[in-house]
A and B are shown apart, each in its own frame.
Chain A
């Protein structure tokens, strides 16, 4: 074997390969979808309902059209195809017809030569609304006699009900704790607001450049609404500024295309920040009632739970979120007897759908709060209680599914528990104290608390969904060098997927130069960049396509060279390890291109009565320990440190894995202590980043992270989806730590100063668990 064959290219699987977008983004040079531009383009704008529920008596766009510079003003009557879209159910109008069901629902769109002209044109559209009482309480919406918001929905306002029954649902236990928990409406708060550019094409179709999460599901919905065959609606991914679920549903896609087709001019639409709050779905607010039963040694006997998710005005992905909350709602624990009912309900609140964690977040806050309550009742250490009940490989889910790869729940908990605790805060540096730079605390009245959380998440799409990705890999010789190009429709939302595809191609083919082509609908579907699934599924597709290219190359080489060869580190090598030829020698001017559709193991539907079924293909786990300092007099919380341990199967790009864990934990912190869309009578009261609070660098503490790599034999490279688990367990860990510091029950997130200081006696409440006072 010559030394040359040993030289592996850099940036393979397992390396922290540098991302092509990293420096551009840091320097502010990355082109986001909002930067799109075409000569001669028009600007689109959307007229939205100010009411959460109203009948539309009439819409008159005449005055808008008479404004100079306005090229089109369209309503539902101008939608050429079916005026309906939706991920799961097509229940949402592209433009409202006779009724609006949430504040901000699009009613009309205009195109004009300047964004300000477009905005003024909106002011001239006359809509005659008959305001109706909004249905704003999810539990009341389920009740008999509530106004039915979607007459075609067979369950009234209940969009989906998932029942899970395992063992004896009526089992009794020695120790029982009950609790009722609530989760507020969280926003994905992504960086780049909804935006895109639609360009009319010669063939009567349209080319849409847009920031989204799944090009093909957009394509099919847009084509359906436009009444065009899918091949006439071509999508290309534009620069995406984060997604977190908020780009799974359509926003401006159909609108921009309608306007472009009508005006025969390119049309750009960009939502402002305020509009963005109305332009995408949010995390479902939830009401969760739990009853945990255990024996006196702390072994769980039963869990009974009811979860109500407020789906808002349209279905979006609520049915799938309901299934997730239900199937994952007991947590990563072994429980012989389970009764779980989870409902997703229509209301006139803002539509809710996908957000990082997807139903598992809400449930985890509740079941982990219950585990702490149970530990307290039993006088047990909360980590010990969790470890005693922890699921492991081979455990059975409440759905009857056997967890058939690593499930190191106990190990994750031990790891975060055993980390050294951070030192007491430095009272001379306000940034270290609750209240931050507002000088709120000098360290007196500050109590330290420690809390834990562990969570479970499914990876990829579930319940029998045909979940696949397509990759086209091309090998050719350019300038004497082998070059690989990878073409998929997989969406880079900022998670580093472009780099992952490059790393896989380099690993499989041993070739340094790998180009990832822009994602578009010119290649088959890649599925969604959600459910922590793209490294797994598109990664799997790229790997499989590379293998096919490799096989073809080796076969070609065998015929040319007259002997069997393999591809090792980018060289064609004989069985004895000697380099027989270079790729350039063998390939010459030929091009090898292979396209593969790749699927993960199939999943199956849940039994409608018992919720039994192998619904998920892979499970992922993370645990957190949170250390907080609380000013108990003022109700202020400083999260001092977050420790996280997560099993990722295989870290394809270790730095990107850490990025996911830090970012996910920060989003969980936001839900724990500040993030909530305030909805009053169906109207959003804080649609801005001044009023919707997300953590800043002062709020987010340093993290201590352990990454485990316990390979899943079913997954490419053994990898396990990474993106969601850290969002799930950080919230309950932080709240548990605040409880430990304050002794307050804290059954609702986000926890706000009011919840801690309301009772407000300046005397210190008795903490329920050991504390380390700060002063």
Chain B
């Protein structure tokens, strides 16, 4: 571990100013991801500005019917919040399927969204990795990549984003509130995350020093009928091979509206727009679900060892939609 300074942030403005002014500075949430990276040598900030105690620990209603989740709300608190459970069950389900009780008790909303990939090469500083050291190459391309991307990857990086929460927020169309030295801005979560292209070192579009203060959920009535399913190698305490966040609005056997996002398949949580389009107006049947899933996955480009993710994603989409629509019918 390399020595670093630690500061507990007094307020948003000074935290943003301090980190922006110092290229080697980083925000610290609960540290469940960042501290691991310090130990592994993946990250070597010279200053940590602890933002976990800033007053963003509320879950509040928004004018217009949405809900604002503060950036420092702990994952456990968010998962059990009655409003979230009732109106956005997929958010609760996504959180509860991730990490462990102890981790969720401390991990923050913003830290969860900003956690970095679990690609083994990213975490092993002795190996080339474009995300960790731009231009050094991508070891996963020909190496161990069973857990890696099937959609939207580039030859520069085939990593996937590990957050479960982010997948649910992507399905919902959440908006991330950000504070920077130039002022505040709102970024739809779908635009927050990037595909790797030729700059996989950037997971998101945030500038150095920009601080997430909240995440806004839209009023989305159909989200009361939503869920999150996660397929993984063991029944708890493991990252997703494939996951699906979905919400459906069905009337008399026909899909009126639908939201689908996939996790574990791309560098960002993958909003399945093609599947959504194929489903709108379609009958709520397995055949239609399968056709929609296949439409989405037609663009999949699996690697040598992860072709299984294509049928797995398809089957998970079908199973999730089947469950939701079956529940929809009286």
- A634 engages B315 (CB within 8 Å): yes
Nearest B-chain residue to A678, judged by Cβ: B144
Q: A431-B235, A444-B319, A693-B233 are known contacts; what are 16 more A-B pairs with Cβ within 8 Å? A: A435-B230, A437-B96, A438-B232, A438-B236, A439-B93, A634-B315, A635-B312, A674-B233, A674-B234, A690-B118, A691-B118, A691-B120, A696-B236, A698-B234, A759-B311, A760-B311
Interface residue ranges, A against B (CB under 8 Å): 50, 116, 119, 431, 434-442, 444-445, 633-636, 638, 673-674, 678, 680-681, 683, 685-686, 690-691, 693, 695-696, 698-699, 752-754, 757-762
**Size band of the B side of the interface?**
35 or more
Q: CA A686 – CA B233 in complex, angstroms? A: 14
- A760 engages B235 (CB within 8 Å): no
- A444 engages B96 (CB within 8 Å): no
Pick the residue among A633, A674, A685 that contacts B120 (CB under 8 A).
A685
Nearest A-chain residue to B89, judged by Cβ: A439
Q: CA A215 – CA B228 in complex, angstroms? A: 52
- B231 engages A753 (CB within 8 Å): yes
> Which residues on A sit within 8 Å (CB–CB) of B290?
762
> Which residues on A sit within 8 Å (CB–CB) of B228?
439
A3 to chain B minimum Cβ distance, whole angstroms, is 55
Q: CA A761 – CA B294 in complex, angstroms? A: 12
Q: CA A50 – CA B231 in complex, angstroms? A: 33
Per-position binary interface string of chain B over residues 289-330, scored 1 when its CB falls under 8 Å from any chain A CB and 0 otherwise: 010000000000000000110111011101100110000000
Q: CA A435 – CA B227 in complex, angstroms? A: 15
> Which residues on A sit within 8 Å (CB–CB) of B316?
440, 633-634
Nearest A-chain residue to B164, judged by Cβ: A438
Pick the residue among A634, A673, A690 that contacts B319 (CB under 8 A).
A634
- A762 engages B315 (CB within 8 Å): yes
User: With A693-B238, A696-B235 given, is the CB distance from A442 to B318 under 8 Å?
Assistant: no
Q: CA A674 – CA B121 in complex, angstroms? A: 21
User: With A438-B230, A696-B234 given, is the CB distance from A754 to B308 under 8 Å?
Assistant: yes
- A753 engages B230 (CB within 8 Å): no
Nearest B-chain residue to A103, judged by Cβ: B126
- Chain B 231-253 interface residues, beta-carbon cutoff 8 Å to A: 231-238, 241
> Which residues on B sit within 8 Å (CB–CB) of A699?
234-236
- A437 engages B236 (CB within 8 Å): yes
**Which of B234, B286, B311 has the most chain A CB atoms closer than 10 A to its own CB?**
B234
> Which residues on B sit within 8 Å (CB–CB) of A680?
143-144
Q: CA A205 – CA B230 in complex, angstroms? A: 57
> Which residues on B sit within 8 Å (CB–CB) of A119?
1
Pick the residue among A683, A752, A757 that contacts B233 (CB under 8 A).
A752
A635 to chain B minimum Cβ distance, whole angstroms, is 7
Q: Is B146 an interface residue (CB 8 A)?
A: yes
Q: Is B97 an interface residue (CB 8 A)?
A: yes
A151 to chain B minimum Cβ distance, whole angstroms, is 28
What are 22 A-B pairs at a CB distance below 8 A? A436-B234, A437-B96, A437-B97, A437-B235, A438-B236, A439-B228, A440-B316, A444-B319, A634-B315, A634-B319, A636-B231, A636-B235, A678-B144, A680-B144, A681-B143, A685-B120, A691-B118, A757-B308, A757-B311, A757-B315, A758-B308, A760-B315
User: With A440-B229, A691-B118 given, is the CB distance from A435 to B235 under 8 Å?
Assistant: yes
B277 to chain A minimum Cβ distance, whole angstroms, is 21
- B143 engages A762 (CB within 8 Å): no
B27 to chain A minimum Cβ distance, whole angstroms, is 23
> Which residues on B sit within 8 Å (CB–CB) of A673?
234
- A758 engages B120 (CB within 8 Å): no
- B227 engages A436 (CB within 8 Å): no
Nearest A-chain residue to B311, judged by Cβ: A760
B296 to chain A minimum Cβ distance, whole angstroms, is 15
A459 to chain B minimum Cβ distance, whole angstroms, is 32
Per-position binary interface string of chain B over residues 125-149, scored 1 when its CB falls under 8 Å from any chain A CB and 0 otherwise: 0110000000000000001101000
Q: CA A401 – CA B93 in complex, angstroms? A: 58
Pick the residue among B1, B234, B235, B315 that contacts A633 (CB under 8 A).
B315
- A50 engages B126 (CB within 8 Å): yes
Q: CA A538 – CA B322 in complex, angstroms? A: 60
> Which residues on A sit within 8 Å (CB–CB) of B241?
753
- B234 engages A693 (CB within 8 Å): yes
Nearest B-chain residue to A637, judged by Cβ: B235
Q: CA A490 – CA B115 in complex, angstroms? A: 47
- A436 engages B120 (CB within 8 Å): no
Q: CA A678 – CA B318 in complex, angstroms? A: 31
Pick the residue among A674, A683, A757 that contacts B312 (CB under 8 A).
A757
- B231 engages A440 (CB within 8 Å): yes
Q: CA A674 – CA B233 in complex, angstroms? A: 6
Per-position binary interface string of chain B over residues 69-80, scored 1 when its CB falls under 8 Å from any chain A CB and 0 otherwise: 000000000000
Nearest B-chain residue to A689, judged by Cβ: B237
Q: CA A476 – CA B319 in complex, angstroms? A: 72
- A442 engages B120 (CB within 8 Å): no
Q: CA A442 – CA B229 in complex, angstroms? A: 10
- B233 engages A685 (CB within 8 Å): no
> Which residues on B sit within 8 Å (CB–CB) of A438?
97, 229-232, 235-236
Nearest A-chain residue to B143, judged by Cβ: A680
> Which residues on A sit within 8 Å (CB–CB) of B286?
762
Nearest A-chain residue to B125, judged by Cβ: A50
Q: CA A686 – CA B143 in complex, angstroms? A: 13
> 6 nearest interchain CB pairs?
A760-B311, A436-B235, A754-B308, A438-B230, A438-B97, A633-B315
User: With A674-B233, A757-B311 given, is the CB distance from A633 to B144 under 8 Å?
Assistant: no
Q: CA A693 – CA B96 in complex, angstroms? A: 19
- B235 engages A762 (CB within 8 Å): no
Nearest B-chain residue to A688, judged by Cβ: B123
> Which residues on B sit within 8 Å (CB–CB) of A636?
231, 235
User: With A438-B230, A444-B319, A691-B118 given, is the CB distance from A753 to B308 under 8 Å?
Assistant: yes
- B323 engages A442 (CB within 8 Å): yes
- B319 engages A695 (CB within 8 Å): no
- A439 engages B227 (CB within 8 Å): yes
> Which residues on B sit within 8 Å (CB–CB) of A441?
319
Q: CA A503 – CA B199 in complex, angstroms? A: 66
User: With A439-B229, A754-B146 given, is the CB distance from A116 to B312 under 8 Å?
Assistant: no
Per-position binary interface string of chain B over residues 99-139, scored 1 when its CB falls under 8 Å from any chain A CB and 0 otherwise: 00000000000000000001011001011000000000000
A298 to chain B minimum Cβ distance, whole angstroms, is 36
Q: CA A663 – CA B316 in complex, angstroms? A: 33
A385 to chain B minimum Cβ distance, whole angstroms, is 32
Q: CA A631 – CA B97 in complex, angstroms? A: 18
Q: CA A685 – CA B96 in complex, angstroms? A: 27
Pick the residue among B143, B235, B308, B318 that contacts A638 (CB under 8 A).
B235
Q: CA A698 – CA B96 in complex, angstroms? A: 14
A623 to chain B minimum Cβ distance, whole angstroms, is 26
> Which residues on A sit within 8 Å (CB–CB) of B126?
50
Q: CA A417 – CA B41 in complex, angstroms? A: 53
- B230 engages A440 (CB within 8 Å): yes
Pick the residue among B121, B127, B231 that contacts A435 (CB under 8 A).
B231
